[in-house]
Structure 1
Amino acid sequence: MIPVLFDPLDAALLVLTVGILYWGFDRYRRRFERSDLLIAVALASGVLSFVFVPETFDVVGGVLDIERRYIVVLLLANVVLLGFVFHVLSLARRANDEVSALTRSLSVDQAPTTDGGVETVFVVIPAYNEGDTISTVVSSLPDSVRGYEVQPLVVSDGSADETAANAAENGAMVVEHPINQGQGGALKTGFEIALENDAAIVVTLDGDGQHPPDELERLVAPIVDAEADYVMGSRYLGVDRSGNGVVRRTGIRFFTGVINVLMNTGITDCTNGYRAIRGSMLERLTLTEERFNAPELIIEARKNGLRLEEIPIRIEDRKDGDTKKPKLGFAIGLTRIIFVAWLR
Structure 2
Amino acid sequence: MISAVDALFLGSALVVLGWGLERYRRRFIKTDLLISLVIAGGLAAFVTVPNLFYFAGDILNIEQRFVVASLIGNLVLVTLLLYFIGYVRSLKSDVTELNRSLSVDQGPRADGGAEEIFVVIPAYNEGKTIKSVIESLPETVCGYEIHPLVVSDGSADDTADQARYNGATVVEHHVNQGQGGALKTGFEIALDNDAAIVVTMDADGQHPADELHRLVSPIVEDEADYVMGSRYLGVDRSGNGTVRETGIQFFTRMINLLTKSEITDCTNGYRAIRGSRLEELTLTEERFSAPELIIEARKNGLRIREIPVTIEERDGGETKKPQLGYALGLSRTIFATWIR
TM superposition score category, shorter chain reference: over 0.9
Q: What is the distance in 2 between the residues matched to 1:211 and 1:59?
A: 69
Residue 200 in structure 1 maps to residue 196 in structure 2: yes
Q: Are 1:156 and 1:176, in contact at CA under 8 Å, matched by a contact in 2?
A: yes
1:85 aligns with 2:81: yes
Report the Cα offset of residue 197 of structure 1. 0.6
- The CA deviation at 1:7 is 4.1
Deviation at 1:68, TM superposition (A): 1.5
Matched, 1:250 2:259: no
9 and 307 in structure 1: CA distance in 2 versus 1, 3 angstrom threshold: farther
Residues 1:109 and 2:101 aligned together: no
- Mapping of 1:106-185 within 5 angstroms? 106-185=102-181
1:20 aligns to 2:16 (yes or no): yes
More displaced 10-residue stretch of structure 1: 104-113 or 276-285: 104-113
Letter in 2 for 1:61: G
The residue that corresponds to 1:210 in the other structure is 206
Shift of 1:343: 2.4
> Alpha-carbon deviation of 1:26?
1.3
Which one of the candidate residues 281, 289, 299 is aligned to 2:295? 299
305-314 or 122-131, larger mean C-alpha shift: 305-314
Tell me the amino acid that sits aligned with residue 84 of structure 1: L
Scaled by the length of structure 2, what TM-score is found? 0.94
Q: Which position in structure 2 is the counterpart of 1:323?
A: 319
**Structure 2 unmatched runs, 5+:** none
**Structure 2 CA distance for partners of 1:62 and 1:252, relative to 1, 3 Å:** farther
CA offset digits 1:77-110 (Å, max 9, x no partner): 2222222222222222122111111111111111
Deviations 1:58-85 (CA, angstroms, capped at 9, x unpaired):
3432343322121222222222222222
Cα distance in 2 for partners of 1:341, 1:63 equals: 42
Count the aligned residue pairs.
340
Q: TM-score, normalised by structure 1?
A: 0.93
Q: Does the CA-based 8 Å contact 2:110-2:194 persist in structure 1?
A: no
- More displaced 10-residue stretch of structure 1: 286-295 or 43-52: 43-52
Q: 1:271-326, CA deviations, whole angstroms, 9 ceiling, x for partnerless residues?
A: 11111111011111121111111111112112222121212211111110011112
Aligned counterpart, 1:339: 335
Equivalent residue, structure 2, for 1:278 = 274
Tell me what 2:216 maps to.
220
Identity of aligned residues (%): 64
CA distance in 2, matches of 1:80, 1:98: 27
Q: Please report how far the alpha carbon of residue 114 of structure 1 lies from its aligned counterpart in structure 2 after TM superposition.
A: 4.9
Displacement over 4 Å in runs of 4+? none
- Flag structure 1 segments of 5+ consecutive residues without an equivalent: none
Moved more, 224-233 or 169-178: 169-178
